[in-house]
Amino acid sequence: MMKSFKHFKIHWLLILFLLSLVFNGQAKTEYMKYKDPKQPLNTRINDLMRRMTLAEKIGQMTQIERLNATADVMHKYFIGSVLSGGGSVPSPTASPELWINMINEMQRGALSTRLGIPMIYGIDALHGHNNVYNATIFPHNIGLGATRDPELVRQIGAATALEVRATGIPYIFAPCIAVCRDPRWGRCYESFSEDPEVVKSMTEIISGLQGELKNHNGVPFVSGKDKVAACAKHYVGDGGTHEGINENNTIANFHQILSIHMPAYDVAIIKGVSTIMVSYSSLNGQKMHANYYWITNFLKGKLHFRGFVISDFQGIDKITTPVGANYTYSVQAGISAGIDMVMVPYDYPDFIKILTSLVENKVIPMSRINDAVERILRVKFVMGLFENPIADTSFVDQLGKKEHRELAREAVRKSLVLLKNGKTNSKPMLPLPKNMSTILVAGAQANNLGYQCGGWTMTWQGGSGNTTVGTTILEGIKATVDPTSEVIYMENPNATAIKSNNFSYAIVVVGETPYAETMGDNHNLTITDPGPKIIEEVCGAIKCVVVLVSGRPLVIEPYINSIDALVAAWLPGTEGQGIADVLFGDYGFTGKLSRTWFKSVDQLPMNVGDKHYDPLFPFGFGLTTETTNSTSTSAAGVRGGNYNFVTMFISLLVAFLLCKANDLLH
């Protein structure tokens, strides 16, 4: 009995001793302020910064391509960010769940590091979630500029944010707020307008993407899990390069930079834009990626931008000519200029090694590294990445959602610009009658979803055919006309085919084939063959409306007299039904040119306000038509349009009730 009691006593003493070790260990566990969302933002940043090694800081400054971003790589190099380059996807028709699982695997690698700093995944979402199959593709920015509707653009931003979150992604490289001054530039369709005031108004898309900032203090802002961090690009002057050559030199004095290219950035910062991307181009001969004055002194100093500055894809490599000729110099020049996060999709080990050496040898001061990392952490904290690093399936039903497609369809309707309507003012051709016996639709752009979406859709340069889910212009026409009307489609009709049918009228849909960036630079700006021949043969034989699907104004003057009606449809995206809605009068034309339409390329560059301004159609031009179908209801009406009937009904009801009350009182 005594022996048993002694054993019992020893066991309890041992248990108490072990418990004391556990409790003492817990008591000694350091309180991590940076992990506490109740702590002030700067307290969290400072607490985390003081714990970080140089390797961990440089890792935060590194953004790599998803193809390289295994969990082991994320852990080993403390990688702070991953991107999908143009068209870089898990598979061509990847589901939201596949995207989420891929991103979470990378995130777990980042979270397994000593400090558990989450990585931020970024993707190009320039006109909707354009890399992802079945996403809603909105009109490119040149078309949105023609709507002159900032509230519509804000809603497009909100819808895009939801579709991006559907795939578990919290960060996008948009909007492009370039002011395109020359349509020969291959990125001109990414610009809302040649007019800085229009571009400024369209920065409202940032409020849709990130949420509405209430205090307007310029601090990076993302309001919740249904929003994404935005990126204003490309800083600064990318739309003003000489002869519109991509990545070329912009020649501008200080006043021109401030009055043309800078205003939208000022507004974007006020709206709390999280990041700003530097342009490949040069400004007065100096590469923007190495431009200390405009990045550090002006953007961070004078404009008080507090988010992070990110390079473009391999942007620092292009500081030298030829590209990558002196990579050590490029790293030094880019980081010293004020770039905080660097897109090094493939050669990240070299970048990390070189930057580490530059800091250790005091070529780049530690203060510059700390500035970069503080900015990156600020964005990660404000967007809630530390609290919600792992993506879930909460938003998968938002991808390609019906309401988003209706919004895109509305944007298409409002973006269309009617340039000509009838060969005489007394005989307008539009709106078209729906109940004609035989209607000809001609041109490759009429029945090609890839063509009507343009570049930056599914792949970097865009594609041809049914690259994603949507409605072609031809399908929209067939769904709109009277069932008794026969629609005959000929991609490239010849004279015999045109004459052999007794067509009531023709809809000719021609324009450009997809392109992006340098591939789209074009000094001729002619309609892609066989478009001109189709216009001549069809419009020379029967009444025709020409619908131009293009990323910019094209040479049209040689054909203008043979055309009965002319519509600029830009790059409308997946919802081609919106074009048919307006052609047939269910909605009226309201769009206004966001760009000057030149007569000849010899006039370029030519912008509104120029001394010798002689356009074919001036900036702001756009004919209007009335709605012929009185029963149609637009999404604009839902957003606060005309409620005259409802107002009248309520007024009559109130008057009736007042009369009854008066009778009762007397």
- DSSP characters over 431-480: SPPS--SEEEEESGGGG-HHHHH-SSBSBTT--SSS-SS-B-HHHHHHHH
The values of phi and psi at residue 631, to 5°, are: -90, -5
Neighbours of 270 (CB within 10 A): 16
- Distances, alpha carbon 540 to alpha carbons 123, 508, 527, 653, in Å: 46, 12, 17, 58
Selection from 207, 202, 211 nearest residue 382 by Cα: 211
Q: Tokens representing 465?
A: 């055919």
CA neighbours closer than 13 Å in the CB half-sphere of residue 633 = 6
Is 312 catalytic? The answer is yes
Contact 562, 523 (CB under 8 A): no
Distance CA 453, CA 132 (A): 13
Which one of the listed residues 204, 312, 340, 374 is annotated catalytic? 312
Q: Tokens representing 364?
A: 């780049």
Contact 576, 447 (CB under 8 A): no
Tokens 């054909």 correspond to 559
Q: Tokens representing 616?
A: 């074919």
- Distances, alpha carbon 189 to alpha carbons 233, 239, 409, 620, in Å: 14, 11, 18, 17
Query: Can you count the helices (H) and strands (E) in the chain?
Result: 23, 17
Neighbours of 426 (CB within 10 A): 6
Selection from 568, 537, 505, 529 nearest residue 444 by Cα: 529
Selection from 588, 575, 288, 271 nearest residue 414 by Cα: 588
Percentage helix, strand, coil for the chain under 3-state DSSP, each rounded to 5? 45, 10, 45
Q: Tokens representing 177?
A: 């707020």
The radius of gyration of the chain from alpha carbons, rounded to an integer in Å, stands at 29
Give every strand in the sheet of 249-250, ordered side by side: 249-250, 282-283, 286-287
Q: What is the DSSP letter of 112?
A: T
Contact 83, 66 (CB under 8 A): yes
Distance CA 615, CA 605 (A): 11
Residue 266 three-state SS = helix
Is 406 catalytic? The answer is no
Distance CA 503, CA 364 (A): 72
First CA to last CA across the chain, in angstroms? Answer: 103
Selection from 438, 412, 437, 442 nearest residue 563 by Cα: 442
Segments in 29-95 forming alpha helices (H):
41-51, 54-60, 71-77
Q: Tokens representing 571?
A: 């790059």
User: Burial level of 651, CB count in 10 A (0-12/13-18/19+)?
Assistant: exposed
| CB neighbour list of residue 608: distance below 8 Å, 6 or more residues apart | 194, 195, 596, 618, 619, 620
Q: Tokens representing 491?
A: 């991609």
Selection from 453, 446, 529, 545 nearest residue 488 by Cα: 446
Q: Crossing angle of helices 402-415/150-166, nearest 10°?
A: 150
Which one of the listed residues 194, 512, 517, 581 is annotated catalytic? 517
Catalytically active residues are 312, 517
